[in-house]
Amino acid sequence: GQSLEQPSEVTAVEGAIVQINCTYQTSGFYGLSWYQQHDGGAPTFLSYNALDGLEETGRFSSFLSRSDSYGYLLLQELQMKDSASYFCAVRDRTGGGNKLTFGTGTQLKVEL
């Protein structure tokens, strides 16, 4: 089966850079996604990495190393509105690659 590990909580100050790590174990890996969820809200898609390397989207970047079964989400120039939970999720050949398995989430607290 699949398993993902990410820290339960991270705290950083406004304007700083924070990295949220995710390690995974899976069979037939296709790709790693990141989702953001504010308290009381629905998860929203941030990024997807299928190949090794860094993908940048504005203040957010996501990195993948397939050989290390590891990825991270990098948030730069932190803002208070970035306080949320962040989930990594893997897509693999389970179910024909049609579904995601989510980690338990990292709660990011941004402080002044």
Chain positions contacting other proteins, by CB under 8 A: 30-31, 33, 41-45, 48, 50, 87, 89, 91, 95-105
Q: How far is the CB of 15 from other proteins (least distance, A)?
A: 29
Give the containing element (helix H, strand E) for 64: strand 60-65
Nearest to 25 by CA among 65, 64, 69: 69
Nearer CB in complex with other proteins: 1/112: 1
Nearer CB in complex with other proteins: 58/112: 58
Nearer CB in complex with other proteins: 43/66: 43
Residue 42 CA to residue 56 CA, distance in Å, equals 23
Q: Which residues of 50-72 are buried (b: 16+ CB within 10 A; e: fewer)?
A: eeeeebeeeebbbbbeeeebebb
Q: How far is the CB of 92 from other proteins (least distance, A)?
A: 11
